[in-house]
Amino acid sequence: KMSEKELRDLKAELAEKFEAYKAQGLKLNMARGKPGAEQLALSMKMLDVLNSQSDMQTSDGLDCRNYGGPDGLPEMRELLAQMMGLQAENVLVGGNSSLNLMFDTVSCAMTHGLPGGKPWCLQADRKFLCPAPGYDRHFSVTEYFGFELITVPMLPTGPDMDMVERLVRSDASIKGIWCVPKYSNPTGITYSDETVRRFAALKPAAPDFRIFWDNAYCVHDLTDTPDVLLNLWDECRKNGTEDLPLFFASTSKITFPGAGIAALGASEKNLAVLRNHFRYQTIGPDKLNQMRHLAFLKDMNGVHAQMQKHRALIAPKFEVVEETFAEQLTGKGVAAWSKPNGGYFISVDVLDGCAKRTVALCKEAGVTLTGAGATYPYKKDPNDRNIRVAPTYPPKTEVKAAAELFCLCAQLAACEKLLQ
């Protein structure tokens, strides 16, 4: 609504402030969803629970120092099954990374196929559904394996299910969909009950279509009124569609990213194929790390207690960003942002055509953000609008400075755009 003169004056004012920021020589990073140093300190005691005096036998008599136990320790399977809302017999405990398990699952499907289908590599024009904004590393896995990535718009209730149903019903070359159903990366939304029910009731043309249900943030609440995700496994069992979903989760953001425990959950049929694949790949996971995690976290009460400590450290950082955005951007029509109840991200939509410029300006003044476009397949945001902000890693004082600079850059980019 501003006149050209008003815009020019504002731009000059903002540019001056921007130069002042640049002169401060900031070096802040809000690019990746990494826990901050204080969060990592929360798990240091886990390193004390296992030492040369520890009993290294599992409850069923396996020596954890040796090979074996490909499915994981029974207690670890039980704990992760509870976390994921599954039964222990449907869960395999993997290594240190759920992304690794997702990659290996796609790789297995590519070369050997999943129950009901031929190897995916024999499907020349294979496609994968990518709800966007979404997690860049998901998209990259299927891009790497030569899938055409199809963008499905993310709505406040989850992926656009009308589109998902229509596409998977009619096209057998669509082999799967990426989902982060709770506190979605980056929009922070949790899929509605209806969305989960529609997923469980999908009738894909491809018999080997799979829902990759990456519940990375299943216990990562930030408020006293956490979102509740309907249990897809229960819904699938009601519908007789147990073979549709593949479940993933890890303790990366409960204990140590890169040194946590990951798990995969699936139906008997799917597990048989994947277990066989993993049998060639490894003689068993790191059971000492599983012992460490069990001794430290103990049970779901232990997990929730640990997550409360994480929350105490990161909720204030989310609040700082939200307060700063509210203070500096409300009513200006240059940005809309998410207010998640959990997870690791705030998703910001700036003025169309301004995301790349906003990120570039932030970088110039010393604040690194996730690359604009990263939340879309092929890293191409069709509207150049979405920016993922990750407030957990920098200390709180730095988060404030970074959020202020972000607001400045979003406004400056908007002025430039409107004056073009």
Minimum CB separation from ligand PLP for residue 411, in Å?
Answer: 29
Cα 51 from Cα 32, distance rounded (Å): 33
- Residue 262 binds ligand PLP, judged by CB under 6 A: yes
Which of 30, 128, 133, 130 shows the shortest CA–CA distance to 382?
A: 133
- Residue 135 binds ligand PLP, judged by CB under 6 A: yes
Q: Nearer Cβ to ligand PLP, position 343 or 373?
A: 343
Whole-angstrom distance between the N-terminal and C-terminal Cα of the chain? 15
Residue 45: CB atoms within 10 Å: 10
Check if the beta carbon of residue 124 is closer than 8 Å to that of residue 107.
no
Cα 76 from Cα 306, distance rounded (Å): 16
Beta bridge partners of 152: 131
Q: Nearer Cβ to ligand PLP, position 252 or 324?
A: 252
- Residue 99 binds ligand PLP, judged by CB under 6 A: yes
Q: Which of residues 2-41 bind ligand PLP (CB under 6 A)?
A: 33
How many residues in the chain?
420
Q: Nearer Cβ to ligand PLP, position 104 or 214?
A: 214
Which parts of 222-299 fold into alpha helices (H)? Answer: 232-239, 268-281, 287-297
Q: Nearer Cβ to ligand PLP, position 358 or 392?
A: 392
Number of residues that bind ligand PLP (CB under 6 A): 14
Contact track, ligand PLP, 279-308, x by CB under 6 A: ------------------------------
- Residue 255 binds ligand PLP, judged by CB under 6 A: no
Minimum CB separation from ligand PLP for residue 184, in Å?
Answer: 8
Cα 223 from Cα 215, distance rounded (Å): 18
φ/ψ (deg, to 5) at 173: -85, -5
Cα 84 from Cα 69, distance rounded (Å): 21
Contact track, ligand PLP, 222-251, x by CB under 6 A: ----------------------------x-
Task: Give the pair of three-digit tokens for residue 262.
Answer: 């990951």
Q: Nearer Cβ to ligand PLP, position 100 or 231?
A: 100
Question: Which residues are at the interface with ligand PLP (CB under 6 A)?
Answer: 33, 97-100, 135, 180, 185, 214, 216, 250, 252, 257, 262
